[in-house]
A and B are shown apart, each in its own frame.
Chain A
Amino acid sequence: MNFFRTQYVAYVTMMRREYIRIVRIWAQTLLPPLITTGLYFLIFGKLIGSQVGGIAGFSYMQYIAPGLILMSLATAAFTNVVFSFYFSKFQRSLEEVLVAPVHPFTIVLGFVSGGVMRALLVTLLSILMMLFFIPLSVASVSAVLFFSLGTALLFSLGGMINAIYANKIDSLSIFSTFILTPLTYFGGVFYSLALLPELWQKLSYLNPVMYLINGFRYGFLGVSDVSIWVCVSVLSGLIIVAVLWLLMLFKQGRGLKI
């Protein structure tokens, strides 16, 4: 048995299964984020946004588009991993992979990659949908790639951590409802920090999601409320923290044992 070959085949198998699952239940995995993003875009962007005027030289619709895409991307990544992993444990189908010669790292990588894959599919579809309404150019391909992949990875890792801690189905939505959603809404999806009073501006600097939104927006529009390098550092730092957290959980024997 070649260890690395086995891990590679197992990883590809996990990815393939996840892809089939995502596509099979597309009405639950791909359609809802498109509808939500589309509604935000039409209501806040077109109807209310037309009264707001432009921000930083862009129409309001153009300005909020990257943030809306990132919001869908993050939610898709998080939801995919948290539900896929939790239900694998709940249905006990996780045992299929646990009894096989698959290294725990490969298992985590498989689930996390599933989240990244769904997030990128949602991103792609969201961009295509938005192109019907606005011209969407790319100012920095590397920034778009870094922040889309990095955010998808971060929220997939977060979904995994949440799923490990979850001991009942209600626990799956606690993080996304009470932490992720408020941070995203206050992260500057719909506004520039420059429009906020000073106190709220300062508070916004404590919100990590604000850096991800601004980094992603920089990729598309070339503008950001904070330095792009600060955004890169914050995202990289958060990914490292999430990876270390997961490693600590596995070292404690949590997650992959029944």
Chain B
Amino acid sequence: MNAIEIKNLTKVFPGGKRAIDDVTLTIKEGEFFALLGPNGAGKTTTINVLTGLVPKTEGEVLVFGESISKNHTYIKSLIGIVPQEFNFGIFETLIDIVVTQAGFYGVKRKDALIRAEEVLKKLSLWEKRNDQARTLSGGMKRRLMIARALMHDPKILILDEPTAGVDVELRRDMWVFLEELNKKGVTILLTTHYLEEAEQLCKNMAVIQLGKVIAEGAIKELVSGQETQLFVVDIIGTISDDNLKALEIFLPKKVDDNTFEILISTAHSLTDFFDICKVSGIRPMSIRPKSNRLEEFFITLTQK
């Protein structure tokens, strides 16, 4: 079953700004779906239409087969939202924030307190439950937003840049948590600027630019169409002009005396590169992708 079906969705703001232009998307139940796009592409507006914060201008949005135009109150009960910006009362305690949110979804206080303990413990926030939200670190505030969104046990979780400004360790912990959640059957829609995050977590994605979907499908298939990938090579010794000439089929670009970049295309493999190195007396010490394939796909696509 499709969890979310967006058909020809258009949103024109007063003043004429067309934030979403004829967007069509399908997200299946249980999927971990990435919605990518540069700043101002229309990702947050799409999410805001889904959650009822912004009324649509045209088109249709179905959630588990129900239209948001006809039954938005019911649909809202199926969705948990983690917005981009912190939007809780900073003077409220953590326990009040999450229990209040549950109340807005019709969860009685007695049940909400039990659920709050479960969710806050899972997100390592239980010890802080009686602290005001303003005293939390940035990472804790992000986790609080996730905890709050999970209080009513939603079938769909929408995460709008959930790991923005979060350190690497915490980001990876959050990935594990979200993967577990997805395995339990929660459909997850993720927007992120960290393409590595999308590649790690999601199977399918859509890229949106200037309000239009410009690519959609399985991440593996989309990035496999990439014809080139940029690598950074560190070598033992100093790079000479002769070295660069020997490697010219890889369009080498010197970074410093010991480092250069090469472009591996579908016509030449890394084995070819190492063969040439061996013949030319170049001794690679390390080689790493400059960016991941999804990142290159994204840049190629959005710069067209």
Contacts and interface: CB of A to CB of B under 8 A. Distances in A.
Interface string B101-121: 101111111000000000000
Contacts of B103: 9-10, 12-14, 16
Nearest to A2: B106
B177 interface: no
A166 interface: no
A258 B79 contact: no
Given A20-B96, A91-B89, A6 B54 contact: no
A156 to B, nearest CB: 20
Contacts of A10: 103-106
Interface string A5-33: 11101101110110010001000000000
A97 B52 CA distance: 11
Contacts of A100: 76-77, 101, 104-105
A99 B81 contact: yes
Contacts of B101: 96, 100
A99 B51 contact: yes
Nearest to A100: B104
Contacts of B59: none
B194 interface: no
B55 A13 contact: no
A180 to B, nearest CB: 27
Contacts of B106: 1-2, 5-7, 9-10, 101
Contact of B104 (A3, A20, A24, A97): A97
Interface in A87-118: 91-93, 95-103
A103 B73 contact: yes
Interface in B233-282: none
Interface of B: 48, 51-55, 73-74, 76-77, 79, 81, 83, 85, 87-92, 96, 100-101, 103-109, 148
Nearest to B89: A93
Instruction: Give the dominant DSSP class at A's interface.
Output: helix
A253 interface: yes
Interface footprint category on A: 20 to 34
Contact of A258 (B48, B76, B109): B48
Nearest to A258: B53
Instruction: Give the dominant DSSP class at B's interface.
Output: loop
Given A20-B92, A93-B87, 13 more contacts: A1-B77, A1-B106, A3-B73, A5-B106, A9-B103, A10-B104, A13-B103, A13-B109, A14-B103, A14-B104, A17-B96, A92-B85, A103-B73
B148 to A, nearest CB: 8
A87 to B, nearest CB: 9
B31 to A, nearest CB: 21
Contacts of A95: 53, 83, 87
Nearest to A5: B106
User: Which of B53, B83, B109 gathers the greatest number of chain A CB atoms within 10 Å?
Assistant: B53
A24 B90 CA distance: 13
Contact of A99 (B53, B55, B89): B53
Contacts of A96: 87-88, 100-101, 104, 148
A16 B97 CA distance: 12
A22 to B, nearest CB: 13
Contacts of B96: 17, 20
